[in-house]
Amino acid sequence: MSKIIIIGAGGVGRVTTIKCAQHPDVFSEILLASRTLGKCVEIAEDAKSRTGHQNITTAAIDAEDVPALTALIKEFDPVMVINVALPYQDLTIMDACLAAGVHYLDTANYEPKDEAKYAYHWQWAYQDRFQKAGLTAILGCGFDPGVTSIFTAHAAKHHFDEIHYLDIVDANAGDHGKAFATNFNPEINIREITQPGKYWENGQWIETEPHAIKRELNYPDIGPKMSYLIYHEELESLVKHFPTIKRARFWMTFGEEYLTHLRVIQNIGMAGIEPVMHQGREIIPIEFLKTVLPDPGELGENYTGHTSIGCRIRGIKDGKERTCYIWNNASHAAAYEETGAQGVSYTTGVPAMTGAMMLLQGKWSGAGVYNVEQFNPDPFLEKLGPHGLVWEEEIDGEIEFEV
């Protein structure tokens, strides 16, 4: 039984809190903290009502204020912090965990506020500090990154001698009934998908114009969906930890209406991250846009359809070519019924809870900074289905592998 702090009270924070509260034998006391105390209180009360776990408290905190955050951590004295706040805040939360002497887990890698560019090198630079402190930092334990990386590790362990080709495919075939909305924080989402595409091939990164490469891919129980090559952070760590990979790509589905809205937002400057003057004060356009777009945490009630996320892998086993497709389909409606959040939040929050459980139960361990694919995938995947994300795999099946 362990005390934990969860930082972040958006849709993923809601799911993570409720899923942790379902396991009081592991997460005996939970402190939910964010800048907005009211959101924390609402989630905590809902979690208590849904699960019966009453040892859930709340606190207001600025996750970029390292001294204040350190003091909060020391006062509550948890074993670990689960960071489901903004990626901008990863480094300050890691600093506070080091200062307070607790373990760390997040779901997305660091991104500086002043540049739409995310990369692991900022967090990998903490390796010596966490190692010397005898603490574990787990990076990218959502779904993608997270489960997709663990799927890859599972395939490498059980199905391949060498992985040569990896395509991560992510389809959201849901309908929330809104003209335009993002499925997680709009500021992060829009920055992520409007930057240039990038993929790994033959030992180097190849950049493309945003959404320049597209394919119609077939997703299980969903059917064909137009999928666009974008850059995603787990590619960086996977090609590092599985050096036999010759090519690694990430594909995500977007509807034509969504892309039209996105082009308009960019063309009129609303995706900008540089300050502009408005009525005598500075504002950042994308932050203003976030305030007028639908809150992703409130999309769940009328959300229908499913997500489908997985890994399509080709490689060699016993001298012969082999293929493997590992995936999960998640229902938006089922996620909302269980947690009050839509499926994209659910598929991130469940792995965050499961990864924390792996650390607290000693199934994942080690001093230093780790991406999830560096741990044993088996105990995690044994729990993932019972925790709500049932996964399937097909070996040497008739699946599409794009050239």
Question: Would you tell me how many other CB atoms lie within 10 Å of the CB of residue 199?
Answer: 22
Number of H helices, E strands in the chain: 14, 18
Inter-residue contact 121 to 111 (CB < 8 Å) = no
* Residue 374: C-alpha distances to residues 111, 120, 365 (Å): 22, 14, 10
Strand, coil or helix: 43 = helix
Average confidence (pLDDT) over 324-338: 97
**Over the stretch 112-128, which tens digit does the pLDDT of each residue have?**
876 667 789 999 999 99
**Over the stretch 6-62, which tens digit does the pLDDT of each residue have?**
999 999 999 999 999 999 999 999 999 999 999 999 999 999 999 999 999 999 999
Structure tokens at 112: 């500086």
Domain ranges (residues) in the chain: 2-139, 147-330+384-395
**Over the stretch 129-180, which tens digit does the pLDDT of each residue have?**
999 999 999 999 999 999 999 999 999 999 999 999 999 999 998 676 666 6
Average confidence (pLDDT) over 204-221: 94
Confidence of residue 402 (pLDDT cuts 50, 70, 90): low
Homologous superfamily in CATH for domain 147-330+384-395? Dihydrodipicolinate Reductase; domain 2 (3.30.360.10)
DSSP-assigned states of every residue in 340-379: SS-HHHHHHHHHHHHHHHHHHTTSS--SEEEEGGGS-HHH
| pLDDT exceeds cutoff 60 at 352 | yes
- Cα of 7 vs its chain's centroid, Å: 14
End-to-end CA separation in angstroms for the chain: 49
Mean pLDDT of the chain: 91
CATH code for the domain defined by 2-139: 3.40.50.720
Model-level pTM greater than 0.85?
yes
Nearest to 36 by CA among 16, 60, 14, 10: 60
| pLDDT exceeds cutoff 70 at 401 | no
Confidence of residue 184 (pLDDT cuts 50, 70, 90): low
